Amino acid sequence: MLRKFAAPKIFYPLAGKLMPWFFWTFAVLGAVGLYWGLMLAPVDAVQGQAYRIMYVHVPSAWMSMMIYTSMAVSAAAVLVWRTKVAEYWLLCSPGLGASFTFITLVTGSLWGKPMWGTYWVWDARLTSELVLLFIYFAILAMKGAIPDRRKAARVMAMITVVGFVNIPIIKFSVDWWTTLHQGDSIFRKGGPSIAPSMLVPLFMMALSFSSYYFWLVLKHIRTLIERSAA
């Protein structure tokens, strides 16, 4: 079963069928989420308008970790089974992952200036997210340095597996150590500490960003399959 879907011949048309669904989910939820987050959601009692940065910051941060996790799963498949589609997934993901990590760092910094009073501090959360950006860069560098795609994927898989230890560190850094970065507002005991009227657009943006990732990764994989067939 699993192997069947992992064959490029099966995967190619399947990806083609899924892409429009992901595109429209991204476009519609993104448009509604943007309007809701910027225009309809109320002002925050403490932070004023600046809290609206969270509608791009938080989904990007989730994406930076989710993309890496999907890469780690692909990496295991690459190392154990040499699955071709997993190789493609690994080749096509780190660019998007690095992009979302970059967005997370810059938007967080723009929020930090008016809220904390500083653009940057070396606390555990901020530092581990920066480390994630460097890990993505290392994986991308391997893709650029090794011309043979299958060999490149295998080396990228090894770095991905080693770098995966950073993901739980990012996630739990705010619980394990004292940080300037606040704790989790959503996945916490007793439910989210965000008013429902502010939470709905956040989930919309998160779903929109995930669909965007799946849309583009499928598009990119299809390009690779086309080229290896040509």
Partner 1 sequence: MSLLTRKHKRRGAFLAVILIALSAATFLMLRAFSENLLFYFLPSQVKEGKAPARHDFRMGGLVLQGSVKKDGLTVHFTVTDLHDSVPVVYTGILPDLFHEGRGVIVEGRMSGPDLFKADQVLAKHDAKYQPPEMTPEMKKYMQAH
Partner 2 sequence: MTGFPHGFWRMGGFWMYVWPSYALTIIVMGLNILAAYWPKNDDADGDDA
- Provide the binding-site residues for partner 2, judged by CB under 8 A: 34, 38-40, 43, 47-50, 52-53, 56-57, 60, 84, 87, 95-96, 99, 102-103, 106-107, 110-111, 113-114, 146-150, 152, 212, 216, 219-220, 223-224, 227-228
Reduced to 3 states (helix: H, G, I; strand: E, B; else coil), residue 163 is: helix
Q: Please, which residue, 64 or 166, has the CB nearer to partner 1?
A: 166
Q: Please, which residue, 147 or 196, has the CB nearer to partner 2?
A: 147
In the complex, least distance from residue 134 CB atom to partner 2, rounded to whole angstroms: 18
Tokens linked to 142: 């391997």
Q: What are the φ/ψ torsions at residue 135 (nearest 5 degrees)?
A: -65, -45
Residue 185 contact, options partner 2, partner 1, none, Cβ 5-8 Å cut-off depending on partner type: partner 1
Residues in the chain: 230
- The stretch among 8-16, 59-67, 160-168, 218-226 that binds partner 1 (CB under 8 A) is 160-168
Q: What are the φ/ψ torsions at residue 202 (nearest 5 degrees)?
A: -65, -45
Tokens linked to 225: 């399959």
The partner residues of 48 in beta bridges, in order of sequence, read 44
Angle at 50 between CA 36 and CA 97, to 5 degrees: 75
In the complex, least distance from residue 178 CB atom to partner 2, rounded to whole angstroms: 25
Q: Does 54 bind partner 1 (CB under 8 A)?
A: yes
* Cα separation, 114 vs 106, whole angstroms: 14
Q: Does 110 bind partner 1 (CB under 8 A)?
A: no
10 Å CB burial of residue 70 (0-12, 13-18, 19+) is middle
The partner residues of 44 in beta bridges, in order of sequence, read 48
Q: Please, which residue, 150 or 188, has the CB nearer to partner 2?
A: 150
Residue 96 contact, options partner 1, partner 2, none, Cβ 5-8 Å cut-off depending on partner type: partner 2
The residue among 63, 29, 2 whose CA lies nearest residue 217 is 63
Binding site for partner 1 (CB under 8 A): 2-3, 42-47, 51, 54, 76, 79-81, 114-118, 121-124, 161-162, 164-165, 169, 176-180, 182-185, 188, 190-198
